[in-house]
Amino acid sequence: MILADTHTHTAFSTDSTSSPRSQIRQAIRLGLQDFYITDHYDMDFPGEEPSFVFDIPEYFRTLEALKEEYRGQICLHIGIELGLQPHLGKRPEELTASWPFEFVIGSTHVVDQMDPYFPVYWDGKTEQQGLHRYFEDMLENIRSFDCFDSCGHLDYIVRYLPSGRKVNLFAEFGDIIDEILRTLIDRDIALECNTAGFKYGLGHPNPHEDVLIRYRELGGELLTIGSDGHAPEHLAYDFSLLPELLKKLGYRYYTIYKDRRPVFLNLNE
Ligand code: HSO
Ligand code: ZN
Ligand code: ZN
Ligand code: ZN
């Protein structure tokens, strides 16, 4: 079984109401050994009020106390899902250099001041243009930021296509996806397998199996696994499917991070 969930949220995230304690207790019930809370921190998230940011000192105070309280039952890791946008400059790196995060996910949520989660992102562009624009910014983020360990949900945007159609990523965007994967490999950044794709009814994790296969073919070896669960019932979502699926796609190991360094776990255990 998969023994770690490396991508989860609590009420420190604008879009979750789950207390950290309720998430940790569920993770223990599920039998996880390592559990990562990675709340959203998107600098300059669009909107009137600041959102998708949290009080960092309070986050560490709360989670460090819980880490101690549950020591021996589960290994809690204090992580962050950092939203990247090209114009943020040095700010993300300054943040990760200033605080002892144990694991940092770098995600592209906002492109041209819009999150594709909101329908307005799609106004005035074709789906093809909206998808391509998203991958362009992701590539720029991966090239320019040196502050994260794993690339979150590479095809996040396919969850929110207005038509709900299935996209053949390699037929339509193969060149840019290859460039994203090669850049991750060159920079020793992991690729995330995010099982929220199953929760969204896509029938595949994010990214799609084709991307996971291609990453292996190109020599990629760092694969992190996360549910992106915002509530207890979504933790370790469909993790039971993963050992067989990932072995079929050419993987023997998955990766967790301890103090920002990769540790390999066997998919057969
Ligand atoms: N970034 C979220 C999706 C969302 N965007 C909610 C705005 N609200 C995915 O966890
Ligand atoms: Zn979220
Ligand atoms: Zn995300
Ligand atoms: Zn997330």
Residues with CB under 6 A from ligand 1: 15, 109, 115, 117
Provide, for the chain, the percentages of residues in helix, strand and coil under a 3-state DSSP scheme, each rounded to the nearest 5: 40, 20, 40
**CA dist 13 → 37, 50, 56, 65 (Å):** 10, 12, 12, 19
Distance CA 153, CA 175 (A): 18
Q: Tell me the residues surrounding ligand 2 (ion) with CB < 5 Å.
A: 15
Give, for ligand 1, the residue of 41, 52, 117, 200 to mutate: max count of ligand atoms closer than 8 Å to Cβ: 117
Which residues have a beta carbon within 5 Å of ligand 4, which is an ion?
Answer: 81, 228
pLDDT at 269: 81
- What is the ipTM metric for this complex? 0.94
Sequence-distant (≥ 6) Cβ neighbours of residue 183 within 8 angstroms: 139, 142, 143, 189
Residue 9 Cα to ligand 2 middle (Å): 7
Which pLDDT score is estimated for 162?
96
pLDDT one digit per residue (tens) for the chain, 269 residues: 999 999 999 999 999 999 999 999 999 999 999 999 999 999 999 999 999 999 999 999 999 999 999 999 999 999 999 999 999 999 999 999 999 999 999 999 999 999 999 999 999 999 999 999 999 999 999 999 999 999 999 999 999 999 999 999 999 999 999 999 999 999 999 999 999 999 999 999 999 999 999 999 999 999 999 999 999 999 999 999 999 999 999 999 999 999 999 999 999 98
Place of tokens 């193969």: 174
Distance in Å, CA 143 to ligand 3 centroid: 19
Q: Which residues contact 10 (CB under 8 A, 6 or more apart)?
A: 16, 18, 19, 20, 23, 37, 39
Rounded alpha-carbon distances, angstroms, from residue 206 to 114, 153, 156, 200, 258: 20, 5, 6, 10, 23
Q: Which ligand is nearest to the CA of 80?
A: 4
Across the chain, which distance is largest between two alpha carbons, in Å?
54
CB 43 within 8 A of CB 5: no
* Distance from Cα 230 to the centre of ligand 2, integer Å: 7
| CATH number of the structural domain spanning residue 107 | 3.20.20.140
Strands of 145-237 (E only): list them.
Answer: 150-151, 190-194, 223-226
- The torsion of the CA quartet 88, 55, 155, 256, rounded to 10 degrees, works out to 110
Number of domains in the chain: 1
Residue 247 CA to ligand 1 centre (angstroms): 30
Q: Whole domain around residue 68: which residue ranges?
A: 4-266
Q: Tokens 């945007």 belong to which residue?
A: 157
